[in-house]
Amino acid sequence: MAKGFGRLRREVGLFQLVTYGVGNIIGAGIYVLVGGASGLAGGAVWLAFLVAAGIALFTGLSYSELSSMYPKAASEYIYVGRAYGSRLLSFLSEWMMLITEVVAAAAVALGFAGYFQSLFIIPMPILAALLLAGLTLISIIGIKESIGLNTILSLVAIAGLLVVVAAGITKAGSSTTNLTYSPSGISGIFGAVILVFFAYIGFDNITNLSEETKNPEKTIPRGLLISLALSTVFYIAVSLAAVILVPWQQLSQSNAPLALAVSQAFGRNAYFMLTIAGLITTFNTALVLLIVGSRIIYGMAREGALPRVLGKVGRRGTPYIASIAALLIALLFIPLGKVDAVAKVTSFGSLLTFAIINMALLHLRRVAPHLERPFKVPLSIGWISITGLLGVISCLALLTQFDSVSIMLGLTLPVSGFIVYFLANRNEPLGVDKRLHQKHEKR
């Protein structure tokens, strides 16, 4: 451990990691965005979730292998750095992921405010900002306490989704919804994929708990893949139930789409119950996003990519200054006000970073085949990982489907990264860092 930095506590096991992962993945994506996605894909919205899951799986497998090789916080910075040795590329990769995490926290906080407004009238930006501040305080208290709360809230989130699925089953026989109809055809489905891909962002965050996880070389890959599989099953089942219960045209107009859907089967009380479940779920997701954002900042500071003060660890064993920094960044995006707009920016930045991560896996397979890999992605032709290659292709293909406004907003992520990097590294901005480029080391 570098001088001046505290050590994070290893207190997370597989069960806690899976509940953390599920709680991170399941949130605003299904409780809020299923409405907007159904407006694009119609009754075939479940297909958009399935396609997004496939894209997420390709990249999730790459993260699993890389995390078993390098179990560190600020994972993207480490993976890309070990592959290419470029401080600039490593910084940009992690910077984009950092911003997308805290932007996602802002989006989820706005989703929370949207559900809350169905019960009480409070301005969304104010409520979202207060939520983020309160969650930051919780994350500073301690990782054990934060993960414990996350476990409880994740179980509540799953229970809420099971109620929606049960409601869909009761109405499945009488439904006239065409589950293969998309009002805009294939383009509508891919438009929905862009939106719902936001629902899967979070599987990668598990790797940033590597330094707080027991036996991370094996636990992190297992936890990541189990979390992704469970979330996919829930997403497909819930999206099917939602369009069975409520016509997609009506579903797309609701701020609380799942609450509206379940009320069709179980009445007004069920609407209230699902609204509470939606609040709890989005609360939980915002919490874990802020935790991950702070760990990314901490890891980058420890690697010398951000000011060292951000790597300080308090008496509770948490990076408290990094946590406050993550909060301040998230607050900058609250004024955007619309969940869909913020979600698209998040998806764009994540897809760009995921493409780089998949390429890093392929590069390391080619130049360093001798490195120990406690978890190795199956399906390869020589050094070429088939899933890693499909991950690159699918991420780049999906990036071409964004509208021009979302692309422009998304490109501000790498551009801002360039600016911050060059301001912080004027003397040697493009140099190769030998501390990063460790192809002959096992760790």
Query: What tens digit of pLDDT does each residue of 225-263 get?
Result: 999 999 999 999 999 999 999 998 888 888 778 888 888
Q: For residues 342 and 347, what is the distance between their CA atoms, to the nearest angstrom?
A: 9
Please tell me the predicted confidence (pLDDT) of residue 355. 94
Structure tokens at 7: 């050590």
Contact 45, 239 (CB under 8 A): yes
Q: How many CA atoms lie within 13 A of 9 on its CB side?
A: 14
Quote the pLDDT of residue 28. Answer: 60
Give me the DSSP letters along 220-252: HHHHHHHHHHHHHHHHHHHHHHHHHHS-HHHHT
Please tell me the predicted confidence (pLDDT) of residue 196: 86
- The pLDDT of residue 338: 64
> Any idea what DSSP says for residue 42?
G
Please tell me the distance from the alpha carbon of residue 443 to that of residue 384, in angstroms, as a whole number. 22
The predicted structure's pLDDT at residue 336: 66
Q: What pLDDT sits at residue 1?
A: 44
- Rounded to whole angstroms, the Cα distance separating 61 from 377 reads 6
pLDDT of residue 225: 93
pLDDT of residue 100: 82
State the pLDDT at residue 8. Answer: 64
Low-confidence ranges of the chain (pLDDT < 50): 1-4, 429-432, 436, 439-443
For domain 14-424, give its CATH number from 3.40.50.360, 3.50.50.60, 3.40.50.150, 1.20.1740.10: 1.20.1740.10
Residue indicated by tokens 């995006």 = 333
What is the 8-class DSSP label of residue 384?
E
Ordered by start, the domain boundaries in the chain are 14-424
Q: Please give the model's pTM, rounded to 2 decimal places.
A: 0.80
